[in-house]
């Protein structure tokens, strides 16, 4: 581990020299690549520096124990040494996690699909709540969100909404949101005040580039029709909505949010490409993990991952046994604590497999 950390430190220093080279700065592509590498290496190098400082402090404390004869000073040195060793152990674990190879998909943008499941209108309303939650989280992170397609109900819910999120490391942060999200609350449509349980399905797809997966035009069936709004009424007088069917797999994508048929087709192809790409990636992941079941990273849409209990202001993530009593804040997009815990658990699982 130390040899690798020394190598990364040397590489970090080399990258720092390169990005200050005026000739490199003229090559924007190369400069951007180096800045990205610099950003990726910084956390590991900083943590390694902290580790080396701790090792030095431990050596100093051990030397003091050997030289000191005063009983009170000895007790203080022992306590300090114990604390330093505990901290060293934690830093060492974190360093090992940082050295685990990053998933090449982590830096990708995503397409997220939210669909109402069991629960009728209440599930559709919660689908809209989840969309707002992710929108606010994206806004806090400085990411860009673009709606690809939506199917609204008459009272403000969504039977389905599909949108893209682009920015820095979007997939790394939102990849664990795939699965069934369950809500327990008194619906606004319920006059008797009874708590209902509904479910919404979320799928997170790494957005595929054209070079990631090839789609042959002869494998596509493209239909155009008039877009519709809540209740099925026509909201457009031209055939601008597009339905794309991928014949080999039977995958169907519909886009109708844009007034332009051309724009809807382009969005539909982006969603289709990402769905097909996800199927390939899931297959690759299964092959890489035949002997185990990685609960955190499975991305199984049928897996119940989280419960949102409104009467108790409680949100529980069942994969990592995390419960927070601040559902109101979470629904405002304050997801960082949950997401960081999920990422930490995934790193720990990866460490155990090393």
Both structure tokens of 185: 């609350």
**Structural domains of the chain, count:** 2
Question: Which residues constitute the domain of residue 116?
Answer: 110-288+298-353
More confident: 40 or 328: 328
Which of 48, 68, 99 corresponds to the end of one domain?
99
Q: Would you put residue 169 in left (φ > 0), alpha (ψ -120 to 50) or beta? A: left
Around Cβ 121, how many Cβ atoms within 10 Å? Answer: 18
Find the mean pLDDT for residues 21-35: 86
**Residue range 273-290: mean pLDDT, rounded:** 77
Distance CA 352, CA 328 (A): 35
Among residues 99, 130, 159, the one where a domain terminates is 99
Q: What does the alpha-carbon distance between residue 163 and residue 115 come to, in Å, rounded to a whole number? A: 12
Q: Which residues of 178-200 are buried (b: 16+ CB within 10 A; e: fewer)?
A: bbbbbbebebeeeeeeeeeebbb
pLDDT tens, position by position, 133-166:
999 999 999 999 999 889 998 888 999 999 999 9
The reported pLDDT for the residue numbered 292 is: 42
The structure's pTM equals: 0.69
Same domain? 182 vs 89: no
As a whole number, the mean pLDDT across the chain is 86
Comparing C-alpha atoms, which of 156, 172, 151, 153 is closest to residue 40? 172
User: pLDDT-based confidence at 297, cuts 50/70/90?
Assistant: very low
> Is the same domain home to 230 and 121?
yes
Share of the chain above pLDDT 90, in %: 42
Helix (H) / strand (E) containing 11: helix 2-19
Residues 215 and 332 in one domain: yes
pLDDT (0 to 100) of residue 119 = 87
Residue 293 domain flag: no
Between residues 322 and 74, which one has the greater pLDDT?
322
- Domain termination site, one of 34, 68, 99: 99
Indicate if 19 and 124 belong to the same structural domain. no
Same domain flag for 49 and 128? no
* Rounded Cα gap, residues 215 and 279, in angstroms: 14
């Amino acid at each position: 581990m130390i040899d690798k950390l020394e190598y990364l430190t040397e590489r970090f220093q080399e990258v720092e020299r390169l990005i200050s080279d005026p000739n490199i700065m003229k090559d924007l592509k190369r400069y951007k690549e180096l800045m990205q590498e610099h950003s990726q290496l910084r956390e590991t190098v900083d943590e390694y520096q902290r580790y080396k400082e701790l090792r030095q402090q431990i050596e100093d404390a051990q030397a003091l124990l050997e030289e000191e004869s005063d009983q009170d000073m000895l007790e203080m040195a022992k306590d300090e040494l114990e604390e330093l060793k505990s901290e060293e152990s934690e830093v060492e674990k974190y360093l090992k996690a940082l050295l685990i190879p990053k998933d090449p998909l982590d830096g990708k943008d995503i397409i997220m699909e939210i669909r109402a499941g069991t629960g009728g209108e209440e599930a559709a309303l919660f689908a809209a709540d989840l969309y707002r939650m992710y929108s606010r989280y994206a806004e806090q992170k400085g990411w860009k969100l673009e709606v690809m397609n939506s199917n609204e109900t008459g009272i403000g819910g969504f039977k389905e909404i599909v949108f893209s999120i682009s920015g820095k490391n979007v997939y790394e942060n939102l990849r664990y949101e795939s699965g069934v999200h369950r809500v327990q609350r008194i619906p606004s449509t319920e006059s008797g005040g009874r708590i209902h349980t509904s479910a919404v399905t979320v799928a997170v797809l790494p957005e595929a580039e054209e070079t990631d997966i090839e789609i042959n035009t002869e494998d596509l069936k493209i239909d155009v029709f008039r877009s519709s709004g809540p209740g099925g009424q026509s909201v457009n007088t031209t055939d601008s909505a597009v339905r794309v069917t991928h014949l080999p797999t039977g995958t169907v994508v519909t886009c109708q949010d844009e007034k332009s048929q051309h724009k809807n087709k382009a969005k539909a192809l982006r969603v289709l490409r990402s769905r097909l790409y996800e199927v390939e990636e899931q297959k690759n992941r299964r092959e890489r993990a035949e002997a185990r079941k990685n609960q955190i990273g499975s991305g199984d849409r049928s897996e119940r991952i989280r419960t949102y209990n409104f009467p108790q202001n409680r949100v529980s993530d069942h994969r990592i046994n995390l419960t927070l009593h601040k559902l109101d804040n979470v629904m405002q997009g304050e997801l960082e604590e949950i997401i960081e815990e999920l990422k930490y658990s995934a790193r720990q699982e990866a460490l155990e497999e090393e």
